[in-house]
Structure 1
Amino acid sequence: MLKINILTFVMIVYNCFGQENYTVTTSKIKEAKIYSNGGMLRHFFSAEVSTGKNFIIIKEFGRNNGMDISSFKPDKKINLIRYESYNNNPSQYAEKIGKSKNVESVNDSIEFYKKTNKKIEQDLTLTRNSIGIVQKNQTLGNPSSAEILKMIEFNQATLKNLYNEEIDLQAIIAKNQSRISILENKRYVSSKNDETSNSNIIVLQITSDKKQTINFEVNQVIQNANWRPYYIIKSNGIKSPLKISYKAKIQQNTGLEFKNIPIKLINGSFSSEDKPYELDRWFLRTERDYYVSNQAFQRPKSNEKTSNVAEYAVLGDSRSRISQRTMKTEISLDKNIVLPSDVEVTEDLSEFEATTHYKYFSTPKLENKTFLLASIKDYSKYNFLPGSADIFMEDMQIGTVNIDTNQLTSEMLISLGTDPNILTKRELVKIETKNLGEKEKLQNYAYEITIKNNKDTAINLELKDQIPLSMAENIKIEVTNPDHADYDKSTGFLIWNFNIKPNETKKIKFGFNVTLPKDLMTADIK
């Protein structure tokens, strides 16, 4: 009696926990967040489970490298064992999700045409054999005229029909073979689609002590997703405001289509920036100062810093909502936006006009080019992020620039490219050395800058140059004839701002004196 009771208990335990139960369900994305690099999906799915071990086959989950079992949050008490990709063990789960109806239909059609061709090939063989028999029996010895005419009639009535039948059968076989090729290509595409679909399936293994419905929420970190700001900036001339289209280039490779769900774009790291040539402080070197690194002739690198800002929102013409939080900008896309997988798409965020001031800027010491700069006051209210911008001037694309938002002032400068109609030239016109006793000497350097405005309108130009700075007590430098420049002794910068009339030429003359020991020679004087 005791043995029977033990056996009954073992059977009950096996029935409860020994059998394996399979459930197929579909995951739904509740929210997607895409960062400058990477992202996060919030999934939801539910499943009916039975007592014992359960395999929950979850469709449309997306590519899921690097997930952890702890990411699955059930609302009921169960034991989470593990999860794996469907493709890790497809033979175990294929029957549970069912075969593709499309592939089955295509296979049936291929089999039908193959059987048809096999039968027609048999008929073609018989026809060719008949032609061979007829051709072998055409030889007559000393035929009469009547026999020759009879043979000709036979060829026309019989052999000709056999030839036509051969041609018709060959045409049917070729046509069916073409159909088979088309269907095989269709089957290949369907099988590839099935492989892609299967790569978005995962299998979750759990144990449950009772039959119940369980709801799961999953936060899935995705690696292959990114977005970047992109702008189209249009100007109709220096008397018009800038028209700015704010866009986002977005890509995600989850294998899923994001549709009818909340999608948020969140900025990540800031990128470096190309901008017009700018001057750094210039230290006077002698032949003994090889250890000094002068940056005066290099493009500066942008200062990649972020700043804390209070939370606020700006609504553009589109239905995307842009808000800034501390250290991050968050953009909520319109729910009607669809983001396919493995394709970069461009979405409109907002469109607006920005009050703009224009000026020309040149540093002829570095290069004889003049840039047109657009200045936007209080630019932070537009929620700019670092990104590339295509520039259009009077409906003509003139190039691409980078938007620099890492500016500590309330004014943002956007380079609209160089204007070849404003010419600059800088020359070192005089170098003169005088002895000041037995130990010292004085060197005088004089420069001339020429600016020619070939435009038919007046322009405002900011011109920048510099005077070297001394690194030693026994070397003294003083500016001579700054020609009404704004001179900053701490940096050595000279800045001129003036208006130049159409076809006007201006000349600026300035210089500096260097007092130094006789045994020293200056370097880098340009």
Structure 2
Amino acid sequence: MLKIKWLLFSFLTINVYSQENFVTTASSIKEVNIYSSGGFVRHSFSANLLPGKNYVIVNDFGKNGVTDISNFKPDKKINILRYEYYNNNLSFYSSKLKSSNKNDQINDSINYYKKLNEVLDQDLVLTKNSLDIIRKNQTLENPSPAEISKLIDYNKINLKDLFKEETNLQTKINDNKSRISKLENKRYESSQEVNNRTNNTIVLLVNSDKKQHVNFDVNQLIQDAYWAPSYTIKSNGITTPLKISYNAKIRQNTGLELRNIPIKLINGSFNGEDKPYELDRWFLRTERDYYVSNQAFQKPPIDKSVKSVSVQEVAIMGSPRFSQKTMKTEISLDKNVVVPSNVQVTEELNEFEVSTTYKYFSTPKTETKTFLLASIKDYSKYNFLPGNADIYMDDTQTGTVMIDANQLSNEMMISLGSDPNVLTKRELIKKETKSLGDKEKTEFYAYEITVKNNKNTDINLELKDQVPLSTDEKIKIQITNPDKADYDPSSGFLIWNLNIKPNETKKISFGFNVTLPKELVILDIK
């Protein structure tokens, strides 16, 4: 008797552990970190497991992510075997779940109206045949007035009814075709809805030794996500502060809408490339060894397989918080921010006014335009990151510049574009050659720079030019007239800082001598 009970218990145990349990749950996003390239999502979900093999179907998990089994952190002792996306084995999971399919009812309705139209089509053919028979038998030979009157009465009754029946049948057929078309569209939309939902569903296969409720935490690496800082800089004149709008352009393609969750924007990349490189062996090569590959001078290849996506741009607002970590800048977005999937959004991070020093800058040797520069001191306190800035002067966009936040000085210079009301012109007004005996000669060059201020306000202008440098000890260069310029002999640069009144014209003159052997010819001096 005891042996029978033991066998029965063993059979029941084997039967329990051999069953497959299918349980459906939904993932909840706890946190999202988006880097300049890539990022990660922290999920959590729970499931009631039975002893044996469990298929945990997790909805709202998202796509375009990379998750290793080790990233699934259960709070109970279980054995995680594998995971896959639901659509990879759609027919298997659909059959096991036996979920009601809304399309089944739609398909039944479509088939009903199609069969109804088959009957109506047959009736329509019979009606048309009857009309043809009547038309073909309406010819009378030498009819009497009574026969003609009788034929007219017959047509009024029978033909009229047949025409009416033909019209009614055709109307019913067309109405049914319209119903079928609407149902087919509804079926397609329903299929797309199901497909979009199951695209974001994964299935986790786990073994459990007992019945238990298990909570899971998951860190999912996002491949197709990024954010980039951008700016809008506005100035209403050189006597007013700059108005700067600090924005973030954000895109993610997880398949999920990020709503009411903590989102952090972090500068830098979240990938395997953000690591130091080790030195490899350095083979010294000559022209005979050109085919030898020096791995010491090559970085590992970067994966550029992420596809670009055509996106729509949406503006969103929030109240972010900036924090400077040891190596990264983190921006915590307001929880009200919504970041849809596959749509680029622009989030306004901050807006402020900056006290600014303005000056004009020109290098007439290479460019006749004069540029307005804005200087921002102690710019590091604004947490600027490198990014594009749209420049507006007096509410008119003048161009786009790159904000360089990695300058070593405490002062950031931003170009606000060229000003056509400040004109510069550089001319070679004199070139003279003199002999210095049999072996040497001297060449003299004189220049004049004209500056005209057509504005109705004073301007401060930094004017920059240069004197050439010699790379040959036989060639000597000497400046002759720096005209109060700040001259640096090591670089050859001349800099004038000028204050120019409204409608004032100023002229700057400078020149230099070149002493060199007679047989040499100087090039590129204009």
Give the TM-score normalised by the residue count of structure 1: 0.86
* Contact kept? 1:318, 1:351, Cα under 8 Å: no
Once the two structures are TM-superposed, the CA of residue 88 in structure 1 deviates from its matched residue by 1.3
CA shift in 2, pair 1:473/1:9, >3 Å: farther
Counterpart of 2:149 in structure 1 is 149
Counterpart of 1:273 in structure 2 is none
The unaligned stretches of length 5 or more in structure 1 are 270-316
Q: Which moved more, 1:40-49 or 1:321-330?
A: 321-330
Counterpart of 1:272 in structure 2 is none
The unaligned stretches of length 5 or more in structure 2 are 270-316
CA shift in 2, pair 1:13/1:511, >3 Å: farther
* Contact kept? 1:462, 1:495, Cα under 8 Å: yes
Counterpart of 1:314 in structure 2 is none
CA shift in 2, pair 1:460/1:146, >3 Å: same
Counterpart of 1:377 in structure 2 is 377
Counterpart of 1:61 in structure 2 is 61
* Contact kept? 2:64, 2:223, Cα under 8 Å: no
Counterpart of 2:284 in structure 1 is none
AA at the equivalent of 1:122:
Q
Secondary structure in structure 2 of the residue aligned to 1:148? helix
AA at the equivalent of 1:468:
P
Once the two structures are TM-superposed, the CA of residue 101 in structure 1 deviates from its matched residue by 5.1
Counterpart of 1:187 in structure 2 is 187
Once the two structures are TM-superposed, the CA of residue 325 in structure 1 deviates from its matched residue by 2.2
* Contact kept? 2:237, 2:394, Cα under 8 Å: yes
Distance 1:397 1:109 in 2: 58
* Contact kept? 1:24, 1:96, Cα under 8 Å: no
Counterpart of 2:37 in structure 1 is 37
Counterpart of 1:423 in structure 2 is 423
What pairs with 1:85-234 in structure 2 (closer than 5 Å)?
85-97=85-97, 99=99, 102-234=102-234
Distance 1:245 1:473 in 2: 54
* Contact kept? 1:450, 1:508, Cα under 8 Å: yes
Once the two structures are TM-superposed, the CA of residue 186 in structure 1 deviates from its matched residue by 2.5
% identical aligned pairs: 65
Distance 1:190 1:428 in 2: 77
The two structures, once aligned, show a CA RMSD in angstroms of: 2.3
Counterpart of 1:240 in structure 2 is 240
Secondary structure in structure 2 of the residue aligned to 1:15? helix
Distance 2:143 2:155 in 1: 16
1:520 has 2:525 as partner: no
Counterpart of 1:410 in structure 2 is 410
Distance 1:362 1:489 in 2: 20
Counterpart of 1:74 in structure 2 is 74
User: For each residue in 1:260-295, what CA deviation from the matched residue of structure 2 results, as whole angstroms up to 9, or x when unmatched?
Assistant: 1001111126xxxxxxxxxxxxxxxxxxxxxxxxxx
CA shift in 2, pair 1:388/1:129, >3 Å: same
Secondary structure in structure 2 of the residue aligned to 1:177? helix
Distance 1:468 1:163 in 2: 101
* Contact kept? 1:21, 1:53, Cα under 8 Å: yes
Distance 2:163 2:57 in 1: 60
What pairs with 1:463-474 in structure 2 (closer than 5 Å)?
463-474=463-474
AA at the equivalent of 2:323:
S
Once the two structures are TM-superposed, the CA of residue 482 in structure 1 deviates from its matched residue by 0.7
Distance 2:229 2:106 in 1: 45
What pairs with 1:374-523 in structure 2 (closer than 5 Å)?
374-523=374-523
Distance 1:105 1:346 in 2: 43
Counterpart of 1:262 in structure 2 is 262
* Contact kept? 2:252, 2:342, Cα under 8 Å: yes
Q: Which moved more, 1:205-214 or 1:66-75?
A: 66-75
1:365 has 2:354 as partner: no
Distance 2:103 2:370 in 1: 65
Distance 1:33 1:253 in 2: 13
* Contact kept? 2:244, 2:354, Cα under 8 Å: yes
Distance 1:100 1:501 in 2: 82
Distance 1:335 1:65 in 2: 23
AA at the equivalent of 2:92:
Q
* Contact kept? 1:64, 1:220, Cα under 8 Å: no
Distance 2:237 2:491 in 1: 34
* Contact kept? 1:32, 1:40, Cα under 8 Å: yes
Counterpart of 2:22 in structure 1 is 22
Distance 1:194 1:164 in 2: 45
AA at the equivalent of 1:465:
D
CA shift in 2, pair 1:406/1:138, >3 Å: same
Secondary structure in structure 2 of the residue aligned to 1:522? coil
CA shift in 2, pair 1:325/1:428, >3 Å: farther
User: For each residue in 1:418-465, what CA deviation from the matched residue of structure 2 results, as whole angstroms up to 9, or x when unmatched?
Assistant: 111211111222232333344433222221111122222222111111
CA shift in 2, pair 1:105/1:483, >3 Å: farther
Secondary structure in structure 2 of the residue aligned to 1:162? helix
CA shift in 2, pair 1:11/1:522, >3 Å: farther
Once the two structures are TM-superposed, the CA of residue 397 in structure 1 deviates from its matched residue by 1.9
Once the two structures are TM-superposed, the CA of residue 212 in structure 1 deviates from its matched residue by 0.6
Distance 2:63 2:377 in 1: 45
CA shift in 2, pair 1:397/1:322, >3 Å: same
* Contact kept? 2:29, 2:41, Cα under 8 Å: yes
User: For each residue in 1:479-505, what CA deviation from the matched residue of structure 2 results, as whole angstroms up to 9, or x when unmatched?
Assistant: 221111111222221111111122222
User: For each residue in 1:63-103, what CA deviation from the matched residue of structure 2 results, as whole angstroms up to 9, or x when unmatched?
Assistant: 14542111111111111111111111111111345546543
Distance 2:149 2:426 in 1: 108
